[in-house]
Homo-oligomer: A and B are copies of this chain.
């Protein structure tokens, strides 16, 4: 049931059928009606492979993300999928598990499938051979979450966001603020967030300290140990985490160490995954507009594709973040209870 069947049934040539679909205005109304009717009767759907082969446009986008197990990227994917679908594009998603080698592989897999463009989040934009190759191949792409002057990016200013958060915590009385992160070297975003943390701590004359948890397996133990061992005077009063999933683990570890959140310890995440607001205590976090990052990436990419250009680094987008001061975060209780309004 190809274009030919439709043509025969409508009593026209295949070219006319094609035109009736692709530039209806160039076909006589009567003819167009006949074609439409025939197509409907046969349940005809144009074959995308043939069209792609001929036009060199697939109306398909490659999507490369670290994982779907982290709700942040699931939300991003939802945004991407929605925007793409609305524009009549399909997506082919691939995951890399934060591994550079898999990023390479993903691109190779996508290359044969003639995607029109790519949306990706890489571990480290600065030293990604994958990205360099993409750029060299002049394939249109947009990075989501990554921030790098040489690449077109849709992201949030994580460094500034983190600095703002830490400043705010200090304003609320916190002094011993510990940053908890995965392996810094594994993610350029974690590095940026850490820079913001360090700068704000220094500005507040407080000591920056970083707890890196490279592997999630023993993370709870490490955390519990770190939180439990110190006496009250040296224990952090707030934990800033480089992502929400980590913050969740911190909250649990705190509970296991006998600490109450937020009475004894404030815990703040980064990402703003939707689930955070449903918890008890609800998770304070620097919220990124995850779905919108996905949607905007698609919008920008498609816009460029339509005009035959490729996204340029100079046009990168920084979307606003938002500090969610939810239940897991609160002002530091003064050690000596004071009367209401006493200060």
Segment 45-68 of A: residues with Cβ below 8 Å from B: 45-50, 52-53, 58, 60, 67-68
| Interface pair A68/B78, CB less than 8 Å apart | yes
| Interface pair A49/B45, CB less than 8 Å apart | no
Of A90-98, A199-207, A303-311, which stretch is located at the interface? Answer: A90-98
What's the Cα separation between A49 and B249 when bound, in Å? 45
A112 in complex: contacting residue of B47, B111, B278, CB < 8 Å: B47
Segment 25-84 of A: residues with Cβ below 8 Å from B: 45-50, 52-53, 58, 60, 67-69, 71, 74-75, 77-78, 81-82
Q: Mark A226-260, 1 if CB is under 8 A from B, else 0.
A: 00000000000000000001001101100110000
Total interface residues in chain A, CB < 8 Å: 46
Do A45 and B252 contact each other (CB < 8 Å), given the known contacts A69-B274, A78-B95? no
**A275 in contact (CB, < 8 A):** yes
**A135 in contact (CB, < 8 A):** no
**A168 in contact (CB, < 8 A):** no
| Interface pair A75/B69, CB less than 8 Å apart | yes
A69 in complex: contacting residue of B58, B74, B94, B109, CB < 8 Å: B74
**A113 in contact (CB, < 8 A):** yes
**A149 in contact (CB, < 8 A):** no
What's the Cα separation between A90 and B115 when bound, in Å? 12
What's the Cα separation between A67 and B68 when bound, in Å? 12
Q: Please give, as numbers and ranges, the residues of chain B lying within 8 Å of A18 by CB-CB distance.
A: none
| Interface pair B278/A252, CB less than 8 Å apart | yes
Do A112 and B48 contact each other (CB < 8 Å), given the known contacts A69-B274, A248-B279, A274-B69? yes
| Interface pair B108/A45, CB less than 8 Å apart | yes
| Interface pair B279/A252, CB less than 8 Å apart | yes
A47 in complex: contacting residue of B53, B245, B251, CB < 8 Å: B53
What's the Cα separation between A90 and B71 when bound, in Å? 22
A71 in complex: contacting residue of B74, B85, B249, B251, CB < 8 Å: B74
A77 in complex: contacting residue of B68, B109, B279, B280, CB < 8 Å: B68
| Interface pair A90/B68, CB less than 8 Å apart | no
Which single residue of chain B is at the shortest CB-CB distance from A249?
B278
| Interface pair B274/A252, CB less than 8 Å apart | no
Top 3 nearest A-B pairs (CB, nearest first) are: A74-B74, A45-B112, A49-B52
Sample (23) of A-B pairs whose CB atoms are under 8 Å apart:
A47-B112, A48-B112, A49-B49, A49-B58, A49-B113, A60-B92, A68-B77, A68-B81, A69-B74, A69-B75, A71-B275, A74-B77, A77-B93, A85-B109, A90-B113, A91-B92, A91-B93, A92-B92, A245-B275, A245-B278, A248-B275, A248-B279, A251-B280
- With A68-B75, A68-B77, A248-B278 known, 19 other A-B pairs at CB within 8 A are A47-B114, A48-B112, A49-B50, A49-B52, A49-B58, A69-B74, A69-B75, A74-B74, A74-B77, A81-B93, A90-B92, A90-B109, A92-B92, A248-B279, A249-B278, A252-B278, A255-B280, A275-B275, A279-B279
Please give the residue numbers on chain A whose beta carbons come within 8 Å of chain B beta carbons, in ascending order: 45-50, 52-53, 58, 60, 67-69, 71, 74-75, 77-78, 81-82, 85, 90-95, 108-109, 111-114, 245, 248-249, 251-252, 255-256, 274-275, 278-280, 282
